Amino acid sequence: MLDTNHLLEVKNLKTYFPVRSGIFLTAQAQCKAVDDISFSLQAGETLGLVGESGCGKSTLGKTIARLIKPNNGSIHFQNTDITTLGRKKLKPLRKDIQMIFQDPADSLNSRHSISNILEEPFIIHGIGNAKHRKKRVCELMKKVGLQANAIDRFPFEFSGGQRQRIGIARAIALNPKLIICDEPVSALDVSVQSQVLNLLMDLQKEMQLSYLFIAHDLAVVKHISDRIAIMYLGKIVEMGEADDIYQRPRHPYTRALISAIPTPDPRKKSKRQILVGDVPSPINPPSGCPFHTRCPHVQDICRTKLPLLRNTAETDQKKHTVACHFDL
């Protein structure tokens, strides 16, 4: 049964990439970038997705935007199954799901003026005439805090923070319902980062947007999200309300992540819990629990049996799930 309140419902989603080698480039193995992920997102809600490089968080975002075709599982958007829709049927849907990318220098065409870049979504979807489009572009510029008279300039004439504002303007041009933000502030300096985060929060209130906010910085994610999902090696290991995850982290990986964040307070030079080793390769993930190679609480069962996401012991209205064999 699908809950009609959900804007987005992802079930058992799997995205694998073949690893090719040899002279005939035959698939030798599979890289399980997204491995059996389920979650849902309400209208107007922000779900933060946190994990280290290579954990599959960007692949998950791109799969949901259907830039990548999943191998298995389902994606329902507004109760429509979009898992296997073709190009033509996806087109009207693209208005509703937009993306903001990490590096605004790479995601804006350097040979197009800002007005060309912002006009393009309207042209692709055949909305309005030239005059109307121009008016909308000026409105968008104002909405993201840029001057409307700058529309004839080119991306290189703007700073990193301003370019990211242009990226945001393009994403909100067609009044989408869901925006997938893939590390939108990671490339920005702190003083500009907070400006962009404020803009994203203001737009969300104004336009009732839902965000899937992908980042590796837990402090940023916690600030902007209602719920947080922690990913490790293609799987969600813990998911719950943002405050709950921060105050009562249940998975040893979440705890290590929180304790690894350097706090901007010189008197809190606390003893950090430092994880040993590196993240294993998603091509050849460990048996059992994917985290067992670095877990400080590892037991025999962890090496053989994969823990599934389950509700934590004190289950209440607030849903908090964790994939660990033990109640730590």
Partner 1 sequence: MISSLDNSSQQLTSETILLEVKNLVTAFDTDAGQVTAVDDVSFSIQQGQTLGIVGESGCGKSVTALSIMRLLPQPMGHLLGGKILFKGQDLATFPIEEMRKIRGGQIGMIFQEPMTALNPVHRIGKQLSEVFLLHQDITNEEAFTKAIELLDKVGIPSPQIRIKEYPHQLSGGMRQRVVIAMAIACKPALLIADEPTTALDVTIQAQILELLKELQQEMGMSTILITHDLGVIAETCDEVVVMYAGRVAERGSVYDIFENPKHPYTQGLLASIPRLEDERKTCMQTIEGMVPGLLDLPSGCRFQNRCPLREDKCAERQPPEEQIGPDHYVSCFRHSET
Q: Which residues bind partner 1 (CB under 8 A)?
A: 52-53, 159-162, 189-195, 197-198, 201, 216-220, 222-226, 242-243, 246, 256-269, 272, 274-276, 278-279
* Pairwise CA distance, residues 235 & 255, whole Å: 17
- Cβ distance to partner 1 smaller for residue 42 or 195: 195
Q: Cβ of residue 203: shortest distance to partner 1, in angstroms?
A: 13
* φ and ψ at residue 14, rounded to 5 degrees: -130, 125
Q: Cβ of residue 192: shortest distance to partner 1, in angstroms?
A: 7
- Pair of tokens at residue 193: 């980062």
* Pairwise CA distance, residues 252 & 217, whole Å: 17
- Pair of tokens at residue 303: 């090496």
* Pairwise CA distance, residues 71 & 209, whole Å: 28
Cβ contact 244:322 at 8 Å: no
* Pairwise CA distance, residues 326 & 257, whole Å: 18
Cβ contact 270:261 at 8 Å: no
- Cβ distance to partner 1 smaller for residue 53 or 129: 53
- Cβ distance to partner 1 smaller for residue 81 or 278: 278
Q: Cβ of residue 39: shortest distance to partner 1, in angstroms?
A: 19
- Pair of tokens at residue 210: 């839902």
- Cβ distance to partner 1 smaller for residue 54 or 128: 54
Q: Cβ of residue 240: shortest distance to partner 1, in angstroms?
A: 13
- Cβ distance to partner 1 smaller for residue 118 or 275: 275
Cβ contact 194:223 at 8 Å: no
Q: Cβ of residue 46: shortest distance to partner 1, in angstroms?
A: 8
